[in-house]
């Protein structure tokens, strides 16, 4: 299986299929996942909780790899992530950049940068002008 096929299988199984227990099939037990939250490094068991929380907010998640670079045991990809808001039915689409390192067919390091602000705006959880307010040093209220 190529790295691209592996990544798509992960998204299809865990996110689109909702098989959260399958996370262990894709990540080594000691894997580290960075970039989901500021100064926070996750383990596979933390990803279970993160995934459960996000899947409560969205429906029909879909993923498309727009660009991928692979060298030896390392992969970098630009991914489009789309879903429907569970509460409003609104469509949300964001991009993410991921960098992964593999050992023995499993991810041991993951560096993730998902546009969570754009996602939360699209889901109606943050105001549409969130970025502008933050740049202008205005509160989000």
The residue segments making up the domain with residue 8 are: 3-135
Q: Is residue 15 part of a domain?
A: yes
Whether the pLDDT of residue 61 is over 80: the answer is: yes
Percent of the chain surpassing pLDDT 70: 97
* Reported pTM: 0.87
Q: Is residue 98 part of a domain?
A: yes
Q: Is residue 141 part of a domain?
A: no
Q: Is residue 90 part of a domain?
A: yes
Q: Residue 140: what pLDDT?
A: 63
Q: Residue 135: what pLDDT?
A: 86
The strand pairing partners of 94, in sequence order, are 81
Q: Residue 53: what pLDDT?
A: 93
Q: CB count, 10 Å around CB of 57?
A: 15
Number of domain units in the chain: 1
What rounded mean pLDDT belongs to the chain? 92
- Spacing of C-alpha 137 from chain mean position: 28
The enclosing domain of 56 has a CATH number of 3.10.450.50
């Amino acid at each position: 299986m190529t790295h691209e096929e592996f990544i798509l299988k992960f998204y299809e199984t865990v996110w689109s299929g909702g098989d959260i227990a399958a996370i262990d099939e894709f990540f080594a037990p000691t894997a580290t996942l960075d970039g989901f939250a500021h100064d926070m490094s996750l383990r596979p068991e933390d990803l279970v909780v993160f995934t459960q929380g996000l899947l409560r907010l969205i429906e029909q998640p879909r993923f498309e790899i727009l660009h991928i670079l692979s060298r030896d045991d390392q992969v970098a990809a630009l991914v489009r992530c789309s879903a429907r808001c569970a509460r409003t039915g609104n469509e949300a689409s964001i991009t993410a950049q991921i960098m992964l390192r593999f050992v023995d067919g499993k991810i041991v390091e993951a560096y993730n940068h998902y546009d969570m602000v754009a996602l939360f705006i699209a889901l109606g959880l943050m105001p549409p002008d969130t970025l502008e307010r933050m740049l202008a040093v205005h509160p989000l209220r």
